[in-house]
Amino acid sequence: MNAMKKSLWVAPVLVSALAGFGFKWTTDKPVENTPAVVSDAKLPADAAKVIQERGLKPDDILGAVSTFMPSGQYDDYMMFASGGHSGQIFVIGLPSMRLLRTIAVFEAESWQGYGFGVKESPLVSVPTGGDGQKAGWADTHHPALSETNGDYDGQFLFIGDKSHGRIAVIDLKDFETKQFADGPLMHNDHGGCFVTPNTEYVIEGAQYSEPLGGEYAPISQYREKYRGLATFWKFDRQKGRIDVENSFAVELPPYWQDLADAGKGPSEGWAFMNSLNTEMATGGIEEGNPPFEAGTAQRDMDYMHVFNWKKSEELIKAGKFETKNGFKLITLKTAVDEGVLYFIPEPKSPHGVDVTPSGKYMVVAGKLDPHVTVYSFEKMKKAIDAKDFEGKDDYGVPILRFDAVKEAQVELGLGPLHTQFDNQGYAYTSLFLESAVARWTLGDDKYRAPEKPWTLVSKVPVQFNIGHLATAEGDTVSPDGKHLVALNKWSVDRFSKLGPLLPQNLQLVDIGKTGDTLKVLYDMPMGSGEPHYAQIIKADKLKTWDVYPEIGWNTMTQSKSDKMVTEGKIVRNGNHVEVYMPLIRSHFDPEHIEIEQGQHVTMYLTNLERTIDATHGFSIAGYNIAASIEPGETVTIEFTAEKPGVYPYYCLEFCSALHLEMTGYLMVKPKK
Ligand code: RUQ
Ligand code: CUA
């Protein structure tokens, strides 16, 4: 009730309207700061009726008025959520929690004309796997927005594919995927991706150890031949691409590396990565060995990997690396000898490592430990400089003493996984086993909560089984507070019956009010893929294009293409046929393309429209071709006309009243 009374959103009018329907709450005085639009307006009589008919409770109404977005008004924040094994990214507006877009990344997606023949794309055609080819699917886990001085800058987005160990680059000017960076040393990753404060590097931590470079070794040689890996992908902001040539990897012991975070402020130049299975368990349940789930949980401690990436960069410049499969690799021995790698004990099977906004502390949540452990970077640095080690691991990596670098341990509850931050001095940790979010205080000087530092303050239950959580600007040096989204893995009974495969439940939690209990405002069913992590950016930081800057835009080079024409033409050169085709409401030019079986066809399609939203599609029935050509865009399609016959092509987007008439015929004459 208390929160209701204070809420800016609930106008006296609404309160009295509700009172008339049996709600027993009152306001002692008119709510201060109530926007005039609300307080002066007469609430339609129907509103109270709807509230009664639907049996809405006060908290429901608070949720509704906090999240409802009037037509034409824009959301304040955008959340980029990974799509799990849908291979995509979901763009969700906050506070409305509406799915605004998907971004095709590793998987073909026909609405976006992605993966069905358009050449201006890292995924030209749906791969089928085999022969060293990557399969046409992915398991996207951790999106990372580009940063400038530790703040999201709204320019680029990166995402890792756990199933194939690669990273994609998305340009946020047009929300399109531009590049896959595919490391040649490992088949999988998990701790990817995380950016350094000026996006110098995109960090990708491998997960399940393997012999590096796709080599073979039996599992009995696990300790000698299998290895872990951390890849530091160099990002060229000017080009908007990962610079593979200047990227490098660091060889690691065969522990399973997990999530990572980059240092900032005082810890800038360093990176932190969790690991599990320092037991080096090799499974084999069928042979009577302990299964992985038991084998990896035998020791009390695993190791946080602490990297000095600035120093690694110097090693690369000095030529102190090996080249494996054409990729620069700092060997484990070099990493140890040159002091770029240290270990810190962390309690049982840790999962998330999150650097606080000030960059002074690293928060580690251990899945099997009810605490989060907070490490001080200052203490780490001191211990490293003083060579204050408790010993070395089997591979010679120095291990810092837990007690020398620990700042605090905060008991939160069961199954802590990930931590995010706000601008009031609170941290928020997801509790998987408890299905709750814990709010606790940082003992930091950047933001200070009124309560005692390093203390659990409150918890809010979520439904159900929360994995990650994301706060607004939560990974930056200056989080915004206000919104938190719990990315819950199970939804159980929250939504209508939909068969045995259920959506996830993304819950919006109001974290804006100090002292008040946290409130879940909205449940968003995510009926596609499985979002893992998400980042939330202030919407006005995104400087997206409404239409492409010039007609004839090549979206891969982000510059004008020389293939654009305003009048259609067909150029025949022996067996090669080039079709230059402009598109405008509501026709293609040409409408007839006559070729001979076996001829090679290159089509350049240009959307001449300058009107926002006037997108045209292009598809050739029977040729597995689908393109989306946004206003100004030029795309290239190439195919060999192997099948004779007549193939209608048509526009896929309902672009005008005469959209059905936007069509043509590809006529493939059979060979004599
Ligand atoms: S993690 S299972 Cu982000 Cu918690 Cu992938
Ligand atoms: Cu163009 Cu429909």
Cβ burial of 65 (10 Å; 0-12, 13-18, 19+) is middle
In whole angstroms, what is the distance from residue 524 CA to residue 505 CA?
6
pLDDT at 346 exceeding the cut of 60: yes
Q: How far apart are the first and last CA of the chain?
A: 84
pLDDT class of 132 with cuts at 50, 70, 90: low
DSSP labels for 279-344?
T-----GGGTPPPHHHHTT-SSEEEEEEEEHHHHHHHHHTT--EEETTEEEE-HHHHHHTT-EEEE
d(CA 280, CA 292): 10
Three-state DSSP at 18 gives helix
Return the closest-CA partner of residue 102 out of 84, 77, 83, 74: 83
Radius of gyration of the chain (CA): 28
Query: Is the CB of 61 within 6 Å of ligand 2?
Result: no
pLDDT at 614 over 70: yes
Give me ligand 1 centre to Cα 17, in Å: 46
Which tokens go with 155? 């320019």
Residue 474 backbone dihedrals phi, psi, to 5 degrees: -70, -15
Atom from ligand 2 closest to the CA of residue 654: 2
Residue with the smallest CA separation from ligand 1 atom 1 is 532
Q: What is the DSSP string of 449-513?
A: -SSPSS-EEEEEE-SS-EEEEEEETTTSSS--EEEEEEEES--TTSS----SSPPEEEEEEE--S
Strands 663-669 and 592-596, bridge-based pairing: parallel
pLDDT at 453 over 50: yes
CA-nearest of 358, 127, 164 to 263 is 358
Instruction: Sketch out the chain's domains with CATH numbers.
Output: 3-67 (no CATH), 77-126+134-282+291-541 (2.130.10.10), 553-669 (2.60.40.420)
Question: CA-to-CA distance for 655 and 658, rounded, in angstroms?
Answer: 8
* More confident of the two residues 13 and 615: 615
* Distance, CA of 159 to CA of 180 (rounded, Å): 10
Q: What is the rounded distance in angstroms from the CA atom of residue 16 to the CA atom of residue 24?
A: 10
Element (H, E) at 537: strand 534-538
d(CA 13, CA 42): 7
Ligand 1 center from residue 432 Cα (angstroms):
11
Nearest to 332 by CA among 294, 299, 305: 305
Residues 418-452 pLDDT 10s: 999 999 999 999 999 999 999 999 998 889 999 99
Distance CA 181, CA 249 (A): 13
Is there an atom of ligand 1 within 6 Å of 367 CB? no
Q: Which atom of ligand 1 is nearest to the CA of 190?
A: 5
Residue 16: pLDDT band (50, 70, 90) is very low
User: Counting ligands in written order, which one lies closest to the CA of residue 609?
Assistant: 2
Q: Is the CB of 533 under 6 A from ligand 1?
A: yes
**Is residue 653 within 6 Å of ligand 2 at its C-beta?**
yes
Shortest-distance Cα residue to atom 1 of ligand 2 = 616
Ligand 2 centre distance from Cα of residue 89 (Å): 26
Contact indicator for 486, 469 with CB cutoff of 8 Å:
yes
Global pTM? 0.93
pLDDT of 15 > 70? The answer is: no
Which ligand has an atom closest to residue 418 CA?
A: 1
Q: Is ligand 2 within 6 A of the CB of residue 662?
A: yes
Total residue count of the chain as it appears in this document: 672
Cβ pair 610, 589 in contact under 8 A: no
Tell me the two tokens of residue 423.
């601008």
pLDDT band per the 50, 70, 90 thresholds, residue 38: low
Mean pLDDT over 160-179 rounds to 96
The token duo for 30 is: 């008119």
The percent of residues above 90 in pLDDT, for the chain, comes to: 87
- For the Cβ of 141 lying below 6 angstroms from any atom of ligand 1, the answer is yes
* Ligand 1 atom 2 nearest Cα: 532
Q: Is 655 in the pocket of ligand 2 (CB under 6 A)?
A: yes
d(CA 345, CA 364) in angstroms, rounded, equals: 11
Q: With b meaning 16 or more CB within 10 Å and e meaning fewer, what string describes 210-233?
A: bbbeeeeeeeeebeebbbbbbbbb
In contact, 211 and 172? CB cutoff 8 Å: no
pLDDT digits (tens, 9 = 90+) for 515-573: 667 999 999 999 999 999 999 999 999 999 999 999 999 999 999 999 999 999 999 99
CA of 611 to the centre of ligand 2 (A): 13
Question: For the chain, what is the largest distance between any 2 Cα atoms, rounded to a whole number of angstroms?
Answer: 92
Q: Is the pLDDT score of 22 beyond 60?
A: no
Percent of the chain residues topping a pLDDT of 70: 92
What tokens does 148 get? 């400038």
Q: How far is CA 159 from the centre of its chain?
A: 5
Residue 401: strand, helix, or coil: coil
56-100: pLDDT as tens digits = 999 999 999 999 999 999 999 999 999 999 999 999 999 999 999
Query: What ligand 2 atom has the least distance to the C-alpha of 615?
Result: 1
Average pLDDT over residues 17-38: 44
Amino acid at 79: M
How is residue 89 written in tokens?
A: 């990214």
CB of 659 shorter than 6 A to ligand 2: yes
pLDDT value, residue 638: 95
> Average pLDDT in the 233-238 region?
98
Q: For ligand 1, what atom is nearest to the CA of residue 533? A: 3
Q: Ligand 1: which atom is nearest the Cα of residue 418?
A: 4
Q: Which of 14-23, 349-358, 392-401 has the highest mean pLDDT?
A: 392-401
Q: Are strands 481-488 and 466-472 parallel, antiparallel or unpaired?
A: antiparallel
Averaged pLDDT of the chain: 92
- Whether 9 shows a pLDDT value over 80: the answer reads no
Answer whether the bond into residue 458 is a cis peptide, omega within 30°: no
Calculated CA dihedral for residues 473, 475, 476, 478, nearest 10 degrees: 60
CA atoms in the 13 A half-sphere facing the CB of 77: 26
